[in-house]
Structure 1
Amino acid sequence: MTETRGPVQRADYDRVAVITGADSGIGRATAVALAEQGFDVGITFHCDAEGAARTAEEVRGHGRRAAVRRHDLGEPVSAAGVVDELAGELGGIGVLVNNAGTGSSRPVIDMDYQEWRSVLAVDLDGAFLCAQGAARLMRDRGAGGRIVNVTSVHEEYPLIGSGPYCAAKGGLRMLSRVLALELSRYGITVNTVAPGEIATPMTGQDNRPPEEGSRPGYPPGRPGDAREVASAIAFLCGPGASYITGASLFVDGGLGIMGPQAAESLTSESWRDLE
């Protein structure tokens, strides 16, 4: 009797990953997870040079090479060139993780255009240009690749005070789907990972593990851990995800499905206010 086998899962793409915003939080955890999977890692940072150096040290501790560059996605055209620099230093690029991001906390009605544009520049324009540059390198190499764009549950669900952030993350979700279609001919997959609240510096929870029971409105009762998000990203970067493209993977502890349940539990209209 002949054994039936499924398609061979190949990973011929360069074992080099570039991760933006890898100086802390999800970016750092992803750099370590990919190093454990045998990737050399290009690390970008905006302000925290020491954090980026620590990430590089952890990557090298797993026997992989690391390269570090500063970039400011507030100036996305010049910053995106860092992807080419890191690919040149490390000898290729098979994975791009667009993780760097910023946000705001102001009602849209009170926001000036510059604040709006500053968030869109980092969260959407920068991701577009980095993805475009990485995709061109992957296409020219001819070995395929992986692009993972880190969005947020707010690629789908709105949040008061975060108009430009939500718009950027929703836009990045749709851009990822277009890229998934356009880049499929080159063997490049494109997906988004949408975290909920994760215990990272961005949420004011630096160097603290998620506290059990601290979020009674979340099904697991706690925020997520950066390593839980990194595991999802690493999966999408590996050969086991070769048939997944154009998808959004929510890593939110069920936060997104709490809408009606949570709304029924509200006892005041304080949700309308930022404070």
Structure 2
Amino acid sequence: MPTLKDRTAIVTGSSSGIGQSIAVRLAHEGANVVIDYAGHPEGADETLRQVTAAGAKGIVVQADVSKVEAVRSLVDQAWKAFGCADILVNNAGMEKRSDFWETGEEDYDRVLGVNLKGPFFLTQAFVQRLREVKKPGRVINISSVHEDMAFPGFATYCASKGGLRMLMRDLAVELGPLGMTVNNIAPGAIATPINKSLLEDKPKLNALLANIPLGRLGTPEDVANLVAFLASDEAAYVNGSTFTVDGGLSRNYHEQ
């Protein structure tokens, strides 16, 4: 029996990688899926194909989550298509490498816009609609081990993920009385297209694997499995927590 039958999930950044796996997994659990993408329509169409193949319904929406008007439209389109949206997965994210002393305002604004401003205002729009009809909901943020761990050269990324951790904690308290739970999932090293250069650099990859007690990179499915649990009724009393999915990396990591 599907655990998310008659539920609707918005999954941002779901045209590839972790987001795509989350969308497909939720579809297998019976949820309708709103597939958000920013710049790769062919990837979003492939996600929709897999969602449909899983027996679920889905729609594709282009929305840059750093734009408030876009996230409000995203929520509106979800409600128009399915009558409600009660699961939100804030997955869209980006990183930009630069030494702190050389980081410009444009890069700062872009990274913080996608990784922190986006979840803030999309969650706000998501909650406003549910609050109007007095329905409960689930908010699941895909954060990073770098909400806690330092990552030299990625100060903007760490700041955004640290902010997302505190936002989750605050909203878990503020939204709990409305019947809404808010949690973070913090992936470590996951084999996705964004890590293509790492996967092709054997010495660097082997050095990383030596720091992971399980001796392997994670898969997008490792993250998607936990999302499915947190979205389900089985996680009804789970609120205000970060769940680390990193094979033990953060307990054994030494910056090179």
TM-score of the superposed pair, with normalisation by structure 2: 0.91
Q: After TM superposition, what 4+ stretches of structure 1 lie above 6 angstroms from structure 2?
A: 205-208
| 1:117 to partner: Cα distance | 1.2
Greater CA deviation, 220-229 or 86-95? 86-95
Specify the alignment match of 1:249 in structure 2.
243
Aligned to 1:36: 28
Find the partner of 2:212 among 211, 214, 218.
Answer: 218
- Other-structure match for 1:5: none
Match of 2:163 among 171, 187, 203: 171
Pick one of 1, 16, 24 that aligns with 2:8.
16
In structure 1, the partner of 2:38 is: 46
1:186-229 deviation line (CA, Å, top 9, x unaligned): 11000000000100112127999xxxx94122111111000000
Alpha-carbon deviations, 1:55-75, whole Å to 9, x = none? 01111112111011111234x
Letter in 2 for 1:143: K
Q: Decide whether the 8 Å contact of 1:198 with 1:226 is kept in 2.
A: yes
| Pairs within 5 Å for 1:54-65 | 54-65=46-57
1:79 aligns with 2:70: yes
Structure 1 segment 149-160 matched on structure 2, within 5 A: 149-160=141-152
* 215-224 vs 164-173, greater mean Cα deviation: 215-224
TM superposition shift of 1:85: 1.6
RMSD over aligned Cα, in angstroms?
2.1
Distance 1:35 1:206, change over 3 A: farther
Per the TM alignment, residue 78 of structure 1 is displaced from its structure 2 partner at its CA by 2.1
Partner Cα distance (2:105, 2:44) in 1: 31
The 5 A counterparts of 1:122-271 are 122-204=114-196, 214=206, 215-259=209-253, 262=254, 271=256
Counterpart Cα distance in 2 of 1:162 and 1:244: 30
* Pairs aligned (count): 247
TM-score, L = length of structure 1: 0.85
Query: Percent identity over the alignment?
Result: 38
Native 8 Å contact 1:108 1:163 kept in 2:
yes
State the AA in 1 paired with 2:148: E
Mapped contact 1:152–1:193 kept (Cα < 8 A): yes
The answer to whether structure 1 residue 88 and structure 2 residue 80 are counterparts is yes
Structure 2 segments unaligned to the other structure (5+ residues): none
- Flag the structure with higher helix content: 2
Deviations 1:119-141 (A, max 9, x none): 10110001101111111122223
CA contact (8 A) 2:5 2:29 kept: no
> What 5-or-longer segments of structure 1 have no aligned partner?
1-10, 264-270
Cα distance in 2 between the residues matched to 1:249 and 1:71: 27
